[in-house]
Amino acid sequence: MNQIIINTILPGLMQLGIILFISPLIVGVIRKIKAFFQNRRGADFLQPYRNLRKQFQKEVVISSTASWITPAMPYILFSTTIAAALLIPTFMVIAPLGGLADTLTIIYLLALGSFFLALAGLDQGSAFGGMGSSRHMTIASLSEPAMILSIFAVGVNSATGNISQLISQGSVSEFFLNPLYVFSFLALFIVMIAETSRIPVDNPATHLELTMIHEAMILDYSGRYLAFIEWSSAIKLMLFLTLLANIFFPIGIITNLTVFGAIAAIIIYIIKILIFASVIAIIESTMAKFRLFRVPDLLWIAFMLSLLGIIIHFANI
């Protein structure tokens, strides 16, 4: 019994805690770095936490056109995102629930969330929502195959679909030597940008009808529902950064839970995530958003990169 608590429940709770309470920090850091590039002082790192607290306490205004899909969606989105996040390893090689499913399930859990997100976009009957859903599903339908292919590409090398095994078998030196890893890293990075609605695919800071995608779908949300959605977005961003950081840079991940080891591993993990977050912030500050119909080109590139990685790997070049 003690063994189960130490090996599963305790790390599970720790991971849940990290996912829930560190994710807004990442959003805050990205905003702060962007503010620096824009020569502003910007709000401090903790502003996303204050936003969440404020939104949770506010009254909810619901469109009179909406059906039960609108109030149900934030919970489904929140649940699928957390479920997916619990399936991937963060600071320990073995994810607390990692044994329950493989990477494919993680991808499709996220897809379940975005399915309902897109439905909710159509629910209020506003043209913005429909536009957002349409664009969101278009991009999702291209980024999903790119993601499956890139994860498959990494899995090809270690012959596994389980992320914990991927991580325990990968090493940093391999990443720099093996073209398979380089290509699939780039592919997954592009997918991450598309899936988390970042520049150059989408702009999380815009409410301009011609450019917004994710924001268009949730335009009519407020109060605690909006808080759930924004929290989910932050967790999803963290999830993708974790995938990138842990699969391709598996440094400082521990296999057994010890007090000192855990603290060190968590700190290293958060630092890794923050480095990736700063890369996103730099990209967002230096690039302009793509025109909607340029986005598929970007995703085709991701797709082709993974395929190229697989071909090179199989051909043993």
Partner 1 sequence: MLAFLINNSFTFLILFLLAGAFSAFIFAKNKDLSNIIACSAAAIASIFGGITALSVIITGKSLAFSLPQTIPYFHITFFVDNLAAYFILIISIVTIAVSIYAIEYVKEYFGKYNIGVLGFLYNIFILSLFLVVSAGNIFWFLIVWELMSVSSYFLVIYEYDKEENQKAGFLYFIMTHIGAAFISLALLLLYKYSGSLNFADLNNIGSALPSATKDTVFLLAFLGFGSKAGIVPLHIWLPAAHPAAPSHVSSLMSGVMLKIAIYGFIRVIFSFLGASVLWWGILVIIIATISAILGVLYALTEHDMKRLLAFHSVENIGIILIGVGGAMIFSSLGFYSLAAVALIGGLFHTLNHAVFKGLLFLGAGAIIKSTHTRNMEDLGGLIKLMPYTALFFLIGAVSISALPPFNGFASEWLVFQSLFASIAISGLALKILFAIVIAVLALTSALAAACFVKAFGITFLALPRSEHAEHAKEAGWPIKLGMGFLALLCIVFGVYPLPVLNLLNTIASGLLSNPIIPNLTNSSTLFVTPFTNGFSSFSPVWIAVLILGIVIISYILERILIGKIKKRAYNTWDCGSHLNPRMQYTATAFSKPIQMIFKNIYRPHEKIETNYYNEGTKYFMKQMKYETALTEIYGKYLYTPIADFIIYFSTKMHRVQYGNVHIYLLYIFITLIALLMFFK
Q: 210 or 259, CB closer to partner 1?
A: 210
Q: Least distance (Å) from partner 1 to the CB of residue 114?
A: 8
DSSP 8-class letter at 5: I
Q: Least distance (Å) from partner 1 to the CB of residue 213?
A: 11
Q: 85 or 281, CB closer to partner 1?
A: 85
CA distance 317 to 311: 9
Asked if residues 194 and 143 have their Cβ atoms less than 8 Å apart, the reply is yes
Q: Least distance (Å) from partner 1 to the CB of residue 313?
A: 9
Q: Least distance (Å) from partner 1 to the CB of residue 79?
A: 4
CA distance 219 to 117: 12
Q: Least distance (Å) from partner 1 to the CB of residue 103?
A: 8
Maximum pairwise Cα distance, the chain:
61
With 0-12 CB in 10 A as exposed, 13-18 as middle and 19+ as buried, what is 257?
middle
Q: 121 or 200, CB closer to partner 1?
A: 121
Q: 144 or 284, CB closer to partner 1?
A: 144
Q: Least distance (Å) from partner 1 to the CB of residue 11?
A: 16
Q: 81 or 242, CB closer to partner 1?
A: 81
The pair of three-digit structure tokens given for residue 184, joined into one six-digit string:
């699939």
223 phi-psi bin (left φ>0, alpha ψ -120 to 50, beta other): left
Asked if residues 182 and 175 have their Cβ atoms less than 8 Å apart, the reply is yes
Asked if residues 195 and 147 have their Cβ atoms less than 8 Å apart, the reply is yes
The pair of three-digit structure tokens given for residue 302, joined into one six-digit string:
């991701």
Q: 40 or 291, CB closer to partner 1?
A: 291
